[in-house]
Amino acid sequence: MHLSDPPLMRLRSASFGYADRVVVSGIDLEIHRGEVVALLGPNGSGKSTLVRGILGLTTQQGGQVQLFGTPRERFTEHTRIGYVPQRHSLSASVRATVTEIVEVGRLPHRLWWRPTSSEDRAIVRRAIEDVGLADRAREEVASLSGGQQRRVLIARALAGEPEVLVMDEPTAGVDHASQEALAGVLRRLVDRGTSMLVVTHELAALERVVSRIVCLDAGHVDFDGSAAAYAAHVAGHAAGSDHHHPDDVTPRRGHVIGAAPLDPEPREVAP
Amino acid sequence: MTDLLALDFMRQALLAALLAGFAAPLVGVFLVQRRMSLIGDGMGHVALAGVAVGVLTGQAPVLTALVAAVAAAVAIELIRASGRTSGDTALAVMFYGGIALGVVLIARSSAGTPANLTGYLFGAILTTSTTDIAVFAALAAVVLVTTLLLRPRFFAVANDEDYARAVGIPVLRYNVLLAVLTAVTVVVSMRVVGLLLISALMILPNAASQLFARSFRSAMWWAVVIGVLCSVGGVVVSYGAETPSGGTIVLLAVAAFLLASTVTALGTRARRAAHDRAERHDHEHGPGCGHPALGHEGHVDYLHDGHRHAAHEGHYDEHGRHTTVEGR
């Protein structure tokens, strides 16, 4: 590790979206080695679009993205980033064991005609141990709980031996026992010095591991700072919302249910 | 069996059946994984147009069918990749256009008899020529080698396209290649199984093996075993019973599926009756959970308040009090 190391990711007024629709724009963000960044924001604020854009899965519509100092268009060392996609379950259309899924993480490391080496197998075994599923390595993924399946996806990313983990909602929709286990896995990885960018809307589960918080709202970065500063920011916002402006009492147009004959009583809905 | 092998055409038919029975389920498992079980059917439709062009122009129908099926395969993947909602209807136009063109052209050609058409659609063992067999064998070898070499990558792409793309695997290229291999398999199998039934030989052995196998790898090889048994067995039965080979093979595959589902259903019921569940857990057992791990008949039990708990699907099985287990 050198001080002159380029940041793991550097975004300059980047915007991403789908086809002709811009979802996030004007993003300036740098993530450095050793950081554990939580990307927060309400549903629909563009968190997933942003991380998928960094990985090249959504269309970049402007600005610059650099990965490890290389512009994303010319970036080919994909194995340096470990992606844990947002999935509620692993595909159940065919049978597959935990080991078979995690082995996929080794593929980018070898040429297409090369068989799995004993080194590959050892790394896969270690990745499965790291997420605490060693005793279930040969079981079918479909028989695991939702939280355990998330850990299988983390193990798959770890098997690629990445320098940074990019995780999309690893704790969403996971029961309490699994969330505890998942938080334990993340803590162990952080203790080892793994850098992370974690999309989440449940900070509580990750509170102890996060070193920095970036908050997205409506496609823009709304906050970027330490966890302590974020707490103050949230408190400030809450205080601000205590102010009552007389004209705020009547629901604004465009934010109301109740405009049509079959709608219930008029009320304001969250934008 | 030995007297069957003494007949030249039967030797050829059995060899063709062996090739088709091996290649079709091997490619088919990825179609099942991608939830595209019916795509082989569509390619068979288009291949008939290719056969008809061959019959009409005096070219070898196997080669013209190959060209038509491969072109259809590439078109299917490009249309799917474009992600347009009109893609689904575009495929329908292509598939029905293909089979209709095939039927009309074969009827117009001098060599076109209803028996000829039926042979292509439903399989006819007597029509396999020596040159056909050589072509089939070469094509089947290509399919087998490519599929087995690239199996981990096909698995990765079919399992999670987003992840595959994120780690730099060229997803579209693999999807097009899989479609081309499917098209080649359609042509390899068309004489034995027939263009309307070929999809069944790709899918049904996999549907059966998915019921009882415990991993992707074992499910794939079991499907190959079932596919070979059904296709070779179907050819033998069809010779004795004077039935069309394609229909006979597919009925055997359906029987294999029904047998597998009955046996696994009974097995599941027996197992469910035979095991006890532990109380509900707020806590997940695993390495480092604080509960001692104990080996027990090939799996791991965790000792929880004097009881052995073993992970089973989404819950824990009660494997008895620790001391009573020792005493057994």
Among candidate residues B150, B184, B199, the one where a domain is terminated:
B199
Query: B260 — phi, psi (to 5°)?
Result: -60, -40
| Shortest distance, CA A224 to any CA of chain B (angstroms) | 26
* Rama region for A161: left / alpha / beta (φ>0; ψ in -120 to 50; rest): left
pLDDT in tens, chain B (328 residues): 667 777 788 888 899 999 999 999 999 999 999 999 999 999 999 999 999 999 888 888 899 999 999 999 999 999 999 888 788 899 999 999 999 999 999 888 876 677 778 888 888 776 667 888 889 999 999 999 999 999 999 999 999 999 999 999 999 999 999 999 999 999 999 988 999 999 999 999 999 999 999 999 999 999 999 999 999 999 999 989 988 899 999 999 999 999 999 999 999 888 888 777 776 666 777 766 777 777 777 677 888 777 778 777 667 777 877 765 444 3
Q: Give the Cα separation of A260 and B151 in Å (integer).
A: 56
| Shortest distance, CA B127 to any CA of chain A (angstroms) | 36
Q: Give the Cα separation of A136 and A139 in Å (integer).
A: 5
Q: Are residues B187 and B287 in the same domain?
A: no
| Pairing between β-strand A195-199 and β-strand A36-40 as defined by DSSP bridges | parallel
Higher pLDDT, A169 or A176: A169
- Count CB atoms within 10 A of the CB of residue B312: 16
Query: B303 — phi, psi (to 5°)?
Result: -85, 110
- A96-134 residue pLDDT tens: 999 999 999 999 998 888 888 999 999 999 999 999 999
B167/A107 CB distance under 8 A:
yes
Among candidate residues B174, B199, B224, the one where a domain is terminated:
B199
- Which residue range is the domain that position B77 belongs to? 2-199
Q: Are residues B175 and B290 in the same domain?
A: no
| Pairing between β-strand A59-67 and β-strand A70-71 as defined by DSSP bridges | antiparallel
Q: Are residues B138 and B10 in the same domain?
A: yes
DSSP state of B292: P
**How far is the CA of B293 from the CAs of A62, A98, A128, A132, B303, in angstroms?**
54, 20, 17, 13, 6
Domains of chain A with bracketed CATH: 78-165+174-195 (3.40.50.300)
Positive or negative torsion for Cα B68, B69, B73, B79: positive
pLDDT bracket for residue A15 (50, 70, 90) = very high
Percent of chain A whose pLDDT exceeds 90: 52
Q: Are residues B159 and B16 in the same domain?
A: yes
Overall average pLDDT of the A244-266 stretch: 47
pLDDT at residue B313, as a whole number: 66
Positive or negative torsion for Cα A79, A82, A88, A89: positive
| Pairing between β-strand A267-268 and β-strand A256-257 as defined by DSSP bridges | antiparallel
Q: Which candidate, B257, B254, B275, places its Cα nearest to that of B265?
A: B257
Residue B224 within a domain: no
- Count CB atoms within 10 A of the CB of residue B4: 14
Helix orientation angle between B39-57 and B87-108, rounded to the nearest 10 degrees:
30
| Shortest distance, CA A159 to any CA of chain B (angstroms) | 12
Q: Which candidate, B73, B37, B44, B47, places its Cα nearest to that of B205?
A: B37
A100/B33 CB distance under 8 A:
no
Q: B113: helix, coil or strand?
A: coil
pLDDT at residue A232, as a whole number: 85
User: Between residues 14 and 53 of chain A, which touch chain B (CB distance below 8 Å)?
Assistant: 52
pLDDT of A256 over the 90 cut = no
Residue B227 within a domain: no
Mean pLDDT for chain A overall = 84
**How far is the CA of B4 from the CAs of A218, B10, B240, B251, in angstroms?**
74, 6, 10, 21
Q: Are residues B191 and B297 in the same domain?
A: no
Residue B320 within a domain: yes
**CB proximity B282 to A under 8 Å:** yes
Q: How would you class B140 by CB atoms within 10 Å of its CB: exposed for 0-12, middle for 13-18, buried for 19 or more?
A: buried
pLDDT of A24 over the 80 cut = yes
pLDDT at residue B326, as a whole number: 43
CB B223 within 8 A of CB B205: yes
HEC readout, A117-177: CHHHHHHHHHHHHHCCCHHHCCCEHHHCCHHHHHHHHHHHHHHCCCCEEEEECCCCCCCHH
A132/B286 CB distance under 8 A:
yes
CB A170 within 8 A of CB A154: yes
Q: Give the Cα separation of B82 and B78 in Å (integer).
A: 6
Residue B150 within a domain: yes
Q: Give contacts of A156 with chain B, Cβ < 8 Å.
A: 163
Q: Are residues B189 and B296 in the same domain?
A: no
Q: Are residues B134 and B20 in the same domain?
A: yes
CA B5 distance to own-chain centroid: 28
* Among candidates A81, A87, A95 on the partner chain, residue whose Cβ is nearest the Cβ of B216: A95
Any idea of the CA torsion for B93, B99, B102, B103, to the nearest 10 degrees?
Answer: -120
pLDDT of A229 over the 50 cut = yes
Among candidate residues B153, B179, B199, the one where a domain is terminated:
B199
Q: Are residues B195 and B299 in the same domain?
A: no
pLDDT at residue B287, as a whole number: 67
pLDDT at residue A250, as a whole number: 42
Vertex A159, ends A40 and A210: CA angle to 5°? Answer: 25
B163/A81 CB distance under 8 A:
no
Q: Give the Cα separation of A162 and A158 in Å (integer).
A: 6
* Among candidates B160, B210, B287 on the partner chain, residue whose Cβ is nearest the Cβ of A94: B210
What is the number of domains present in chain B? 2
Residue B99 within a domain: yes
Q: Give the Cα separation of B213 and B86 in Å (integer).
A: 37
pLDDT bracket for residue A88 (50, 70, 90) = low
CB A30 within 8 A of CB A10: yes
Residue B187 within a domain: yes
Residue B103 within a domain: yes
**CB proximity B303 to A under 8 Å:** no
CB A84 within 8 A of CB A167: yes
Residue B6 within a domain: yes
pLDDT bracket for residue A141 (50, 70, 90) = very high
Helical residues (DSSP H) of chain A, grouped into ranges: 47-54, 98-103, 118-130, 146-159, 176-191, 227-240
User: Between residues 48 and 67 of chain A, which touch chain B (CB distance below 8 Å)?
Assistant: 52, 55-57
pLDDT at residue B328, as a whole number: 39
Q: Give the Cα separation of A151 and A106 in Å (integer).
A: 16
pLDDT at residue A251, as a whole number: 42
Please compute Rg for chain A using Cα positions: 21
CATH code at position B48: 1.10.3470.10
Q: Give contacts of B33 with chain A, Cβ < 8 Å.
A: 91, 93-94
Name which of B215, B220, B264 to mutate to probe chain A: the one with the most chain A Cβ atoms within 10 A of its Cβ: B215
